[in-house]
């Protein structure tokens, strides 16, 4: 299933998949309409001379003009798309390029213009007429080409509007946040009160750890781990009567020849262990968002760091990033994270590397806080985010992680802000955050003169 999700994500991120489908549909539509024209009564068409009365020469001229126009518009569309990609990469982060490439509006626009061009060519080759040649003009197909071209004008106008709005910071960040939320919904189920319980390792099924040795299984190629099939690892661990420990998790970069997993065995690993265990990992040239919510958080953090850099100093974009990060973390607060230990029949089989709320919170706020040492607006927004997230979670580990974040901000304020007004404003906000944390069960004794 993970490989199918990855394949679908790769197809969605390509510029060729949707346009190719639409070109194929346009070929099918042209063939169907031409066939209808061969069977339809000419008497019925003659009743509408202004719509279907064009001759063979006029049909050829019209179709040739429309095909040439669509190819010109298609070139302009490609140029505008590449310009938007260049601007987004330079202004925000190169990591967001895949989000632009997988945009449905862009792909559909390219597909529509390529499809109209192909449709006109298919219909054009069926037009017959001239001296000594029986005239055939697929009137319905020619009229449809005219209608499609008029629709293409509207599509072009909308696409120009779409490109202008898509390169705005708020839209880029919102799009990444939506993709991240979709990834969260895909890999992290909603939290329930039922917590699975497992016994310790059964001695009669798996030898104790002190009686086994750890054997490293190396990666067969370098790249980013895009997905891991835990079910396959469980099955292999049972077949080998082993304990499998992952050395790298989803989103990590693994080097060919470096340890990918380790096996706890009483004897040496089977001959096919390296090939079989590598097959459970999907490794590619880049990280993908479909099964890796941390990558979406990383993209927004990258945009924030670039906005807060001394050369740009765009506080507004940084605030937008913090706002959407707070919304993502609030969504994560109500999710059930995958376990680190995976059992089979009460026997520990796999020790995984899995994301947690605490690790994702660090990913979201740690670097931004470091880049906002003297930026009161960002720090105030981060405190608002901590309070908002804390107000909707009851889990002690979540509250503790949020408390750590506000403590670090308090230390930053004490160290970096000399203005009494700024310190008073931040102190007031910190006190509100601490009240929220205390209401959720955190006993605070901060002792900081902020």
Question: Could you tell me if residue 258 is inside a domain?
Answer: no
Structure confidence at residue 220 (pLDDT):
94
Quote the longest CA-to-CA distance of the chain: 101
- What is the dihedral sign for C-alpha 323, 327, 333, 339? negative
- What is the dihedral sign for C-alpha 423, 429, 432, 437? negative
Range of the domain at 11: 2-167
Structure confidence at residue 195 (pLDDT):
46
Q: What pTM was estimated for this model as a whole?
A: 0.80
Which residue from 319, 383, 389 is spatially nearest to 360, judged by alpha carbons?
389
Residue 176 near residue 299 (C-beta atoms within 8 A):
yes
Structure confidence at residue 311 (pLDDT):
83
Structure confidence at residue 62 (pLDDT):
87
Cα(first)–Cα(last) distance of the chain, in Å? 51
β-bridge mates for residue 245, sequence order: 262, 351
Residue 217 near residue 261 (C-beta atoms within 8 A):
yes
Question: Could you tell me if residue 173 is inside a domain?
Answer: no
Question: Could you tell me if residue 348 is inside a domain?
Answer: no
Question: Could you tell me if residue 68 is inside a domain?
Answer: yes
Q: For the chain, how many structural domains are there in total? A: 1
The pLDDT tens digits along the chain (450 residues) read: 556 666 666 676 677 888 899 999 999 999 999 998 887 756 555 555 555 556 678 788 889 999 999 999 989 888 888 888 787 777 777 667 776 777 788 889 999 999 999 999 999 988 887 655 667 888 888 889 989 999 999 999 999 888 888 888 888 899 899 999 999 999 998 876 554 444 444 333 444 555 578 999 999 999 999 999 999 999 999 999 899 999 999 999 999 999 999 999 888 888 889 999 999 999 998 888 888 999 999 999 999 999 998 888 899 999 999 999 999 999 999 999 999 999 988 889 999 999 999 999 999 999 999 998 889 999 999 999 999 999 999 889 999 999 999 999 999 998 888 888 989 999 999 999 999 998 887 665 554 445
| Residue 46, helix vs strand vs coil | helix
Q: Cβ contacts of residue 337 below 8 Å, gap of 6+?
A: 188, 354, 355, 356, 357
Question: Could you tell me if residue 152 is inside a domain?
Answer: yes
Question: Could you tell me if residue 285 is inside a domain?
Answer: no
Residue 295 near residue 98 (C-beta atoms within 8 A):
no
- What is the dihedral sign for C-alpha 94, 96, 98, 104? negative
Question: Could you tell me if residue 65 is inside a domain?
Answer: yes
**Tokens 């199918």 sit on residue:** 4
Structure confidence at residue 204 (pLDDT):
37
Q: What is the dihedral of CA 54, 55, 57, 62, to 10 degrees?
A: 20
Question: Could you tell me if residue 329 is inside a domain?
Answer: no
Residue 400 near residue 356 (C-beta atoms within 8 A):
no
Structure confidence at residue 213 (pLDDT):
86
- What is the dihedral sign for C-alpha 383, 385, 387, 390? negative
């Amino acid at each position: 299933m993970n490989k199918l999700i990855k394949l679908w994500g790769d197809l969605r991120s390509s510029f060729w998949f949707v346009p190719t489908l639409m070109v194929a549909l346009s070929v099918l539509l042209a063939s169907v309409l031409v066939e209808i024209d061969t069977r339809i009564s000419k008497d019925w068409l003659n009743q509408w001379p202004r719509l279907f009365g064009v001759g063979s020469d006029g049909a050829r001229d019209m179709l040739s003009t429309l095909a040439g126009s669509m190819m010109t518009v298609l070139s302009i569309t490609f140029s505008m798309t590449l310009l938007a990609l260049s601007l987004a990469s330079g202004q925000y982060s190169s990591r967001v390029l895949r989000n632009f490439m997988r945009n449905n509006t862009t792909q559909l626009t390219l597909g529509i213009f390529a499809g109209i061009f192909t449709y006109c060519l298919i219909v054009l080759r069926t037009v017959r007429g001239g001296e000594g040649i029986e005239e055939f003009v697929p009137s319905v197909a020619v009229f449809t080409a005219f209608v499609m071209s008029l629709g293409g004008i509207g599509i072009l106008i909308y696409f120009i509007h779409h490109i202008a709005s898509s390169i705005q910071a708020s839209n880029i960040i919102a799009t990444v946040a939506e993709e991240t939320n979709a990834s969260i919904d895909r890999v992290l189920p909603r939290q329930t009160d039922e917590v699975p319980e497992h016994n310790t390792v059964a001695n009669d099924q798996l030898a104790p750890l002190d009686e086994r040795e750890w054997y490293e299984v190396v990666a067969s190629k370098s790249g980013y781990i895009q997905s891991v099939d835990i079910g396959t690892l469980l099955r292999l661990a049972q077949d080998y009567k082993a304990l499998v420990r992952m050395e790298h998790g989803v989103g990590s970069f693994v080097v060919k020849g470096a340890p990918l997993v380790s096996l706890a065995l009483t004897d040496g690993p089977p001959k096919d262990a390296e090939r079989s265990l590598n097959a459970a990992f999907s490794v590619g040239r880049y990280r993908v968002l479909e099964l890796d919510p941390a990558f979406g958080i990383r993209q927004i953090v990258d945009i924030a760091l670039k906005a807060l850099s001394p050369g740009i100093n765009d506080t507004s974009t940084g605030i937008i990033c913090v706002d959407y990060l707070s919304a993502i973390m609030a969504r994560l607060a109500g999710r059930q994270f995958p376990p680190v230990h995976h059992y089979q029949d009460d026997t520990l089989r796999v020790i995984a590397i899995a994301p947690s709320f605490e690790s994702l919170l660090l990913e979201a706020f740690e670097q931004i806080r470091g880049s906002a040492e003297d930026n009161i607006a960002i720090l105030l927004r981060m405190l608002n985010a901590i309070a908002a997230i804390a107000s909707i979670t009851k889990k002690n580990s979540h509250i503790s992680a949020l408390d750590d974040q506000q403590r670090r901000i308090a230390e930053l304020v004490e160290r970096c802000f000399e203005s009494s007004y700024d310190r008073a404003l931040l102190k007031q906000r910190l006190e509100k955050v601490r009240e929220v944390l205390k209401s959720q069960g955190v006993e605070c004794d901060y002792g900081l003169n902020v």
